[in-house]
Amino acid sequence: MSVKQLCYIGFHAPEKQQLAKNLVQKFGFELFAARVTAWSKQLALRRGAAVFVVNERLKAAREVPLIFSSGPCKDQGILYDVDLQYVVSTASNICFEIENVPGISQSLQEQGCQILIPPTNVADEGGCVTYAVVRSIVGNISHTLLDRSRYCGPFLPGFHGVKSASENFSEAREVTHFDHITYACLPGSSLAVLDWYKNCFGFQRFSVHHQDAAAEGYSIQGAGMGLRLTAMHCNGSGLTQLDRDCKLVLAESLPQQRKNQVDTFLEQHGGAGIQHVALYTTDIVRTAAAMAKAGANFVEPPLTYYSEKGREKEIQQVGQDPHLLEHYGILLDSEVAGEGSNISPGLHGKQYLMQIFTKPLFAEDTFFLELIERCGAVGFGERNIRALWKAVQNYMDKQ
């Protein structure tokens, strides 16, 4: 199977969370398509090529058991996703655009995968799409397999176009696509997850760090940390670069002294799932500044981060302003451009990346967003991983 591209990421949230409203007002997303029935509301929002679909069960809908629906959704229910009633708000669906949905669905079923919604055709005046939904082996995550090559409407059949604009982000064009999606996984499950995505969707491993071990991934331990990261990508674009590929990062906790943020996610989310989604931006300072002004909240870096030996010089050497980064809480990690790198270094001859995390978007300490800007770097800097981990952990401890 070959994934052409990532189409959207789907949420399930009650109305009271006001997730769609916050994505528009605080994070600069544009509501561009909607589908409303007596039982549910589906809202499609985008920044650049990054598309979220927020699925809300309306108050008029009856409570149903917390299960995946076993067949195609009725007209009054959720389209292009399972009609999921979950204990907490959750990001749970990743939609892949593919060809030959019926053939791929049959192949996945023969491999033992659970097909939640069999191949289904939906049409309106804009054309026709075919989709199916398969359950991942990770927590409550499902994947919509979508062929919309015969459709030219605003989004998908059943949705109508919506004209909207956010005054706070009227000229915001820095966010271009999803950089990566991170799963919080059960301890010891990463290798099985990697194998499943390789066999079912053709994903391949890539290193998050030069010390990434093929068998065990990249482990970070010490100072209260116990974290294993492994990563994979699906090169549906056919390009040799990683910058636009669909990238999945698996995070699992290692034995340590105290409960950490992955453990907190598993406990409050009720199992494994999508912990955060990274939005790629071409200007992280401008993006973070606009979001903060609009009311978005970011986790604060460790107090000693910017005063560490050599930190200010490192930031200046790649052409960034250390005081500006400190003002917005943005972390930077750099490395000398290595041989064989397939992405060009920054203007100052070094590969580096900059990152910042938002506070959780829901009442629970589960899902959050990340902003990331890359200048040549394709992995995740070790010091940034440690600093971001500590920043989120400090926030969790305060909570």
Q: Of 280-284, 353-357, 386-390, which range is least confident?
A: 386-390
Q: pLDDT value at position 212?
A: 64
Confidence of residue 393 (pLDDT cuts 50, 70, 90): low
d(CA 13, CA 48): 23
Q: pLDDT value at position 349?
A: 56
- The string of pLDDT tens digits covering residues 146-172 is 999 999 999 999 999 998 766 667 667
The better pLDDT of the pair 377, 65 is held by 377
- The string of pLDDT tens digits covering residues 306-357 is 888 888 998 999 999 999 999 999 999 886 444 334 444 454 557 899 999 9
Q: Quick check: do 5-169 and 175-398 share a fold?
A: yes
d(CA 263, CA 397): 13
Angle between helix axes 382-398 and 261-269 (nearest 10 degrees) is 50
* 18: pLDDT strictly greater than 70: yes
* 217: pLDDT strictly greater than 50: yes
Q: pLDDT value at position 275?
A: 96
* 71: pLDDT strictly greater than 60: no
Q: Please compute the mean of the pLDDT values over residues 38-67 and round it to a whole number.
A: 79
* 359: pLDDT strictly greater than 50: yes
Determine the CATH number of domain 5-169.
3.10.180.10
SS3 readout for the chain: CCCCEEEEEEEECCHHHCHHHHHHHCCCCEEEEEEECCCEEEEEEEECCEEEEEEEECCCCCCCCCCCCCCCCCCCCCCCCCCCCCCCCEEEEEEEECCCHHHHHHHHHHCCCCEEEEEEEEEECCEEEEEEEEECCCCCCEEEEEECCCECCCCCCCCEECCCCCHHHCCCCCEEEEEEEEEECCCCCHHHHHHHHHHHHCCEEECCCCCCECCCEEEEEECCEEEEEEEEEECCCCCCCCCCCEEEEEEEECCCCCCCHHHHHHHHHCCCEEEEEEEEECCHHHHHHHHHHHCCCECCCCCCHHHCCCHHHHHHHCCCCHHHHHHHCCEEEEEECCCCCCCCCCCCCEEEEEEEEECCCCCCCCCEEEEEEEEECCCCCHHHHHHHHHHHHHHHHHC
The superfamily (CATH) of domain 175-398 is 2,3-Dihydroxybiphenyl 1,2-Dioxygenase, domain 1 (3.10.180.10)
Sequence spans of domains, the chain: 5-169, 175-398
